[in-house]
A and B are shown apart, each in its own frame.
Chain A
Amino acid sequence: MKVSANTRTLGSLRPGQTCRVIGIADQGVSAEMEDRLLRMGFAEDAEIEVRHEGLFGRDPMAVKVDGVILALRRREADTILVEVDTPK
């Protein structure tokens, strides 16, 4: 896992931002949840675009990954480490 200055958690992103997955956190994620996240496409190098967020606490969030739109909560999104794309 290459951690850099641009490394954030997916949960800290806002709609409109895009990023690339660098990995899933070592702690705070059950093996089952990690398997499900990977299965739904949150694997290394996946490109993600944050699309929408809920009204209260901006939760849950909807992201586009592998051509599919997925909803997840910030709590789980916080376990996904990403490299934020800088706007060109």
Chain B
Amino acid sequence: MTPGAAYRLALVGNPNCGKSALFNALTGGRQKVGNYPGVTVERRVGRLQTPSGIAIDIIDLPGSYSLTPHSADEAVTNKVILGQQEGELPPDAILCVVDATSLAFHLPLVLELKRLGRPMLVTLNMMDLAERDGIRIDTAALARELGLPVVGSVAVRKAGTRDLIDTLSSTLETLKSQPPADTASIPTDVRGLRREARRIALAAILSEGREHKVTRVLDRIFLHRLAGPAILFGLLFLMFQAVFSWAETPMNWIDESIVGLQTLASSEITNPALQSLLVDGILAGVGSVVIFLPQILILFLFILVLEASGYMARAAFLMDRLMAGVGLNGRAFIPLLSSFACAIPGIMAARSIDSQRDRLTTIMVAPLMTCSARLPVYTLIIAAFIPDRKIWGTIGLQGLVMFSLYVFGIVAALVVAAVLKRTLMRGAAQPLLLELPKYQMPIWRDVAIGLWERAKIFMRRAGGIILISMIVLWALSSFPPPPPDATQPPIYYSAAAWVGKGLQTVFAPIGFNWEISVALIPGLAAREVAVAALGTVYALSGSEDAVATSLVETLRSAWTLPTALSFLMWYVFAPQCLSTLAVAKRETNSWGWTFFMAGYLFALAYVFAGATYWITKSIVGL
């Protein structure tokens, strides 16, 4: 090892062993998240600086039940440990994380790792939970039986990692030169591994303890045949309520700050072109995206808490039968649920699906779930065209239309998944084999780190692709300037109008005018940009009065009802989000599947929007 370089320690363990919580406790916020080249497996590295002055780079490897790779995650774990993974130097040592509350279940992986003959040590995680359940483990006996150093740790509390850090600082150097002895006696077959694991567990466990009572009681409620699904739907309902009602206040703050900035920019900047770029282009465009941050964070707060508490696996259990109906399994429920916030994390969450076909199917249909970016579009059109009245005295018509759009997306996703699984992704039914972890209080630090990561990803997107597209749209609609003898509004002479009029020949049959056609171009960057773009197009194309009147009023007079409904339907399907397509390319590692996704979504959007247009037209008789 070169002097000054950090030790490299790989963190390995079964899923649900509390590995990530331990990683967060050891490294705090000092972690880097990336991807391994060529595969869609997350690479997470953090630096631990021990009190004795040693720097340790900790690599948090994906949770894995065995070294016989059944998924892309497990294959990467395998390769990293063996030092064969591209983009990762071989680790100096392995830290195997074991859940102390179910030792026998976790030990086969420890034995498999030991057989690799790499320097390694074992840490018994969740010791506090084991003590609570009356489980007593003889750490010395375990170390003797395994022939490996064993340290107890409590990932939940920071103090609980002190022993582990001390052991790491004192043993890493000697460990490196001293790989575990006696790897020959470790069985190579699954049955043998399990037998040996049970023998060691028996020798090390002083007291079996009793089963976690809370888990038993909660499961009786949450997995009850009738109450279980009812509670799940109640939770989902609460989640969507929260997304809309809790987010309102912070969204107003963001809106006010942006208006404030626009006012400031208008009064401070005198150059009309620069002022227009900043106020109408950048601030309006980026603001229209940043405003969704509260909704996205609230949705992720729910998802992260449900995951950390252990409930998410139960949700997958409850949804499995429904998902089986379209050929997927319960695991696909989590990515699809995340897609209600945003398809990007949803598509990334599909990594946990072990079957490649199921994973691809889930990725292909994830954009059909109504993401929060569609909300501003839906809200705008509904406010403008759907009368605000109650039907049967109780249900608001506007809310009902919004709800139907959500349902329409879900049904479309299920139908497309079913069709894909019967055609392109045909294959044997994929089994469900899912661990239901013990219930736990979420560790708030971990939830906060998760939320912070989501916020960063989202803001980077707003600052990058959306900012650029807003500037491009602004330029397109401002240049070339109108001739001196112009009789039409300036945008009529701009490049945007040429493009819009060109596109209109394609979109006229489904009722779109050229203003919509223009707005669809920046709307490709992200769905919510379409609202800002329509604002830009109409504000620029009208008189001072048109700017003053709200967009709702403008649309009401500029569009017919068939056009408005057709536009709504277009947004149910159209992949108007370059980031989603980019992430689909990265996750599928295939241009073919990316183009397939974009193609089928555009085709469905065109057909359904067209059908909506012509059916509405014949009903209202326009």
Q: Which residues of B contact A33 (CB under 8 A)?
A: 431
Known: A39-B108, A40-B65, A56-B321. A69 touches B101 (CB 8 A): no
> B321 to A54, Cβ gap below 8 A?
yes
Q: Does B66 contact A (CB under 8 A)?
A: yes
Q: Which 8 A-B pairs have the closest CB atoms?
A: A52-B223, A67-B102, A38-B190, A69-B436, A71-B434, A66-B105, A71-B317, A56-B321
Known: A62-B219, A71-B436, A73-B431. A43 touches B190 (CB 8 A): yes
Q: Does B324 contact A (CB under 8 A)?
A: yes
C-alpha gap A70/B436 in the complex (Å): 6
> A60 to B191, Cβ gap below 8 A?
no
Q: Which residues of A contact B436 (CB under 8 A)?
A: 62, 69-71
Q: Which residues of B contact A39 (CB under 8 A)?
A: 65-66, 68, 108, 190
Stretch of B225-233, B356-364, B384-392 that contacts chain A: B225-233
Q: Which residues of chain B from 556 to 595 have a CB within 8 Å of any chain A CB?
A: none
Q: Does B72 contact A (CB under 8 A)?
A: no
> B433 to A57, Cβ gap below 8 A?
no
Q: Does A68 contact B (CB under 8 A)?
A: yes
Residues of B within 8 A of A (CB): 65-66, 68, 70, 101-105, 108, 190-191, 194, 211, 215, 219, 223-226, 228-229, 313, 316-318, 320-321, 324, 330, 428-429, 431-436
> B190 to A51, Cβ gap below 8 A?
no
> B320 to A68, Cβ gap below 8 A?
no
Return the contact of B431 from the options A55, A66, A72 (Cβ within 8 A): A72
Return B542 CB to nearest CB of chain A, in Å. 56
> A70 to B433, Cβ gap below 8 A?
yes
Return B322 CB to nearest CB of chain A, in Å. 8
C-alpha gap A70/B433 in the complex (Å): 7
C-alpha gap A53/B431 in the complex (Å): 16
> B190 to A35, Cβ gap below 8 A?
yes
C-alpha gap A54/B101 in the complex (Å): 26
Return A67 CB to nearest CB of chain B, in Å. 4
Return B421 CB to nearest CB of chain A, in Å. 16
Return B321 CB to nearest CB of chain A, in Å. 5
Q: Which residues of B contact A26 (CB under 8 A)?
A: none
Q: Which residues of chain A from 26 to 61 have a CB within 8 Å of any chain B CB?
A: 30, 32-33, 35-41, 43-44, 51-60
**Chain A residue, CB-CB nearest to B228:** A55
C-alpha gap A43/B108 in the complex (Å): 13
Return A38 CB to nearest CB of chain B, in Å. 4
Instruction: Name the residue among A35, A52, A70 with the largest chain B CB count within 10 angstroms.
Output: A52
> A55 to B70, Cβ gap below 8 A?
no
- A-B pair count, CB < 8 Å, reads 105
Q: Which residues of A contact B215 (CB under 8 A)?
A: 69
**Chain B residue, CB-CB nearest to A70:** B435
> B105 to A68, Cβ gap below 8 A?
yes
Known: A39-B190, A55-B228. A71 touches B432 (CB 8 A): yes
C-alpha gap A62/B432 in the complex (Å): 11
Q: Which residues of A contact B226 (CB under 8 A)?
A: 55
> A54 to B68, Cβ gap below 8 A?
no
Return A60 CB to nearest CB of chain B, in Å. 5
Return the contact of A41 from the options B194, B229, B324 (Cβ within 8 A): B194
Known: A44-B191, A67-B101. A60 touches B108 (CB 8 A): no
Return B218 CB to nearest CB of chain A, in Å. 11
C-alpha gap A38/B302 in the complex (Å): 34
Known: A40-B65, A67-B104. A73 touches B190 (CB 8 A): no
**Chain B residue, CB-CB nearest to A54:** B321
> B433 to A36, Cβ gap below 8 A?
yes
Return B124 CB to nearest CB of chain A, in Å. 14
> A54 to B318, Cβ gap below 8 A?
yes
> A51 to B219, Cβ gap below 8 A?
yes
> B431 to A62, Cβ gap below 8 A?
no
**Chain A residue, CB-CB nearest to B197:** A66
C-alpha gap A40/B224 in the complex (Å): 24
**Chain B residue, CB-CB nearest to A49:** B211
C-alpha gap A36/B435 in the complex (Å): 12
Return A55 CB to nearest CB of chain B, in Å. 5
C-alpha gap A66/B211 in the complex (Å): 12
Q: Which residues of B contact A57 (CB under 8 A)?
A: 321
> A67 to B191, Cβ gap below 8 A?
no
Q: Which residues of A contact B429 (CB under 8 A)?
A: 75
C-alpha gap A65/B65 in the complex (Å): 15
**Chain A residue, CB-CB nearest to B223:** A52
C-alpha gap A43/B193 in the complex (Å): 11
Return the contact of B194 from the options A43, A51, A58, A72 (Cβ within 8 A): A43
**Chain A residue, CB-CB nearest to B313:** A71
> A60 to B432, Cβ gap below 8 A?
yes
C-alpha gap A44/B321 in the complex (Å): 28
C-alpha gap A61/B498 in the complex (Å): 60
> B321 to A71, Cβ gap below 8 A?
no
Q: Which residues of B contact A69 (CB under 8 A)?
A: 215, 219, 435-436
Q: Which residues of B contact A73 (CB under 8 A)?
A: 320, 324, 431-432
> A66 to B190, Cβ gap below 8 A?
no
> B191 to A54, Cβ gap below 8 A?
no
**Chain B residue, CB-CB nearest to A38:** B190
Q: Which residues of A contact B431 (CB under 8 A)?
A: 33, 36, 72-73, 75-76
Q: Which residues of A contact B223 (CB under 8 A)?
A: 51-52, 62
Q: Which residues of A contact B103 (CB under 8 A)?
A: 67
